[in-house]
Amino acid sequence: MSYDYKHLTLDQRMDIQVGLKEGLTLQALSEKLSKSPRTISQEIKIHLERKENQRAKFNRSEKKDCIQHLRYPYVCDRCPFKAYCTSDFFSYDAKRAEQSYRRTLRETRQGIHITKDEFERLDDLLKQGIYKGQSPIHIKESHPEITVSERTIYRYLDQGILSTEVYKLRNKVRMRKRKSKSSEPLDKGIYAGRTFMDYLGFMHKNPGMFTTEMDTVIGLKSDKKVILTFIVIELHLFYACVVYKGVGGVIRGIHAIEDLIGLDGFKKLFPVLLTDRGFEFRTPEDIEKNILGEQRTHVFYCDPLASYQKGAIESIHRILRYVFPKGKTLDNLTQTKLNKAISHINSYRLRSNQFKTAYELTKEVFGKDLLNQLKIEVIDPDSIHLTPDLVK
């Protein structure tokens, strides 16, 4: 039998308490919780509670120690001699055991976990070594008697526990202060019903719907503008628009696309949007509905750190980077220049399309009018240009 070696939960401790009252064997309790018998036995022994028995005092009899408390089940819950036993009573309480466990877990993660002699030795070695220009890792590796890790040494220095000043570390004085994260909390409730598994379920119930992957491409971190990108997976149709950073920029970009192709056209071409959990996409209701409150699409989010779930747009970004390489500003980019790049990319023959262009596939399904509304033109194969010179 395979055991679960994770820490016990409150529910599992409640099961232990109930099992002891029901008289379950250690093996039966082990199988019920998928925990090793030793784990359960140690849990009961550690959190065993003792209550003094006053019966011997009132009966003027000798108080005895019961050896049953030295082995499973350790407690007196099902003992047949409980009614007249003069030994102290032992019991197990799940809630108090959980409180004790949490307190121990918290306390063991605080403070300094080395002896006074070890700490003084560490402090002396660091003080002498750093004064001579040595690094903490060099000092640690040169002295096997130092039992703490390099990370712990730096933590002690940062907290001012050691007598060596932090500014005496050569690299420390050159490090910039880390930027604090945004204090504005992210409401994770927005993902309810919009996860990747929800997307798969939705597509199963609505076969034949097109899926569009959505993302953003940045130039420089200091830029005010980004490129909001879309790719219709089934057609490999690529579209993009220049927007300002942030939530508002994304919403305005989507409104602009609806203005170009109309609400009905948007519903047909972009019925489902799949994107990542970026800050700029955190208002799904504003994306799904237009300014009149009419439903135009359905938004779903990939799992964290799962870019492979929207691999089509990641692939098209590699081609887009031929024209807009990393490290180059996008603040001077206009929609007219971007439309030019979009047309060239949609006329580019890809193996994943069986070498048919996205322009040809989209024209077969939606006709030329939709492509004209999006200002996507057909480009002669020999005239396709995918370098930064295209948008100069």
| pLDDT tens readout for residues 172-220 | 656 666 666 554 555 667 888 999 999 999 999 998 899 999 999 999 9
Tokens of 135: 């690094």
For residues 380 and 47, give the distance between their C-alpha atoms in angstroms, rounded to a whole number: 79
Which pLDDT belongs to residue 116? 86
Helix (H, G, I), strand (E, B) or coil at 26: helix
Instruction: Using CB atoms within 10 Å of the CB of residue 57, give its burial: 0 to 12 exposed, 13 to 18 middle, 19+ buried.
Output: exposed
Q: What is the DSSP string of 203-255?
A: HHHSTT--EEEEEEE-S-TT-SEEEEEEEETTTTEEEEEEEESSHHHHHHHHH
**Rounded Cα–Cα distance for residues 375 and 369 (Å):** 10
Q: Which of 116, 103, 131 is nearest to 46 (CA)?
A: 103
Which pLDDT belongs to residue 268?
Answer: 93
Taking 60 as the threshold, does the pLDDT of residue 225 lie above it?
yes
Distances from the Cα of 211 to the Cα of 174, 214, 237, angstroms: 48, 10, 11
Parallel, antiparallel or unpaired: strands 225-232 and 211-217 = antiparallel
pTM of this structure: 0.55
Q: 41-54, pLDDT tens digit by residue?
A: 999 999 999 998 88
